[in-house]
Copies of this chain bind each other. A is one copy, B any other.
Amino acid sequence: MARKSGSNGEKTAKQLREAATALFAKNGYAAVSMRQIAREVGVQAGALYLYTADKQTLLFDLLDQHMQDLLQAWEERATPHSVTPMDKLECFVRFHIRFHLPRGDEVFISYMELRNLTPENFEVIQTSRRKYESILHDILSDGEADGTFKFVDTKVATFAIIAMLTGLNTWYRDEGRLSLDMVEEIYLDLVMSAAGAKR
């Protein structure tokens, strides 16, 4: 047999992205074969090449989509645009946690599989990442300018805060001791303290 009954291109494309995301996160890009992904999708390996040029492009598209989603979600965030640096920082922390926590696999891949990108693809992702970091950096700078925050080095503080927040993904479990709301408050407190903000 060839074409399968009930087959549909968009559905398969979506299944491919999902299967690849899950498998790459669990076993790593290099350790996952196209045949493994195909099995998960319920299709032969050859069929995948109707939806991606090659394995490398598949990885890149996943990472790029993730970064695009992240940046776009920030632009469209529900919270009304805040005015004071304090409000902005609070908004950023809450946003970061709520965006990243439900996307464990994507976040994991985005950090772990950078080295498996070709140099050109790497540069694209890196640019998006820097864009995101600059959002936080601008907030911290503003706050420092008007005396809300105090840092020895603002650039380092940016990295440190993002690393701290993203580290949440490595240990948080839905069934665990703490609710999403609680970790949000805990990290908010840690970040505000680190920023030297009096509350």
Interface on A for B, CB 8 Å cutoff?
26-31, 112, 115-116, 151-153, 156-157, 159-164, 166-168, 170-171, 178, 182-183, 185-187, 189-191, 193-196
Given A31-B30, A194-B193, does the pair A186, B112 have CB atoms closer than 8 Å? no
Q: Which residues of B contact A166 (CB under 8 A)?
A: 163
* CB-based contact B153/A186 at 8 Å: yes
Given A30-B30, A116-B28, A194-B194, does the pair A159, B152 have CB atoms closer than 8 Å? no
* CB-based contact A156/B170 at 8 Å: no
Given A193-B194, A194-B193, does the pair A162, B167 have CB atoms closer than 8 Å? yes
Closest Cβ–Cβ distance, residue A193 to chain B (whole Å): 5
A29-B31, A163-B163 known; 18 new pairs, CB 8 Å cut-off, are: A28-B28, A28-B115, A28-B116, A29-B30, A152-B189, A152-B190, A153-B182, A156-B183, A156-B190, A157-B186, A159-B170, A161-B164, A164-B164, A164-B167, A190-B194, A191-B194, A193-B195, A193-B196
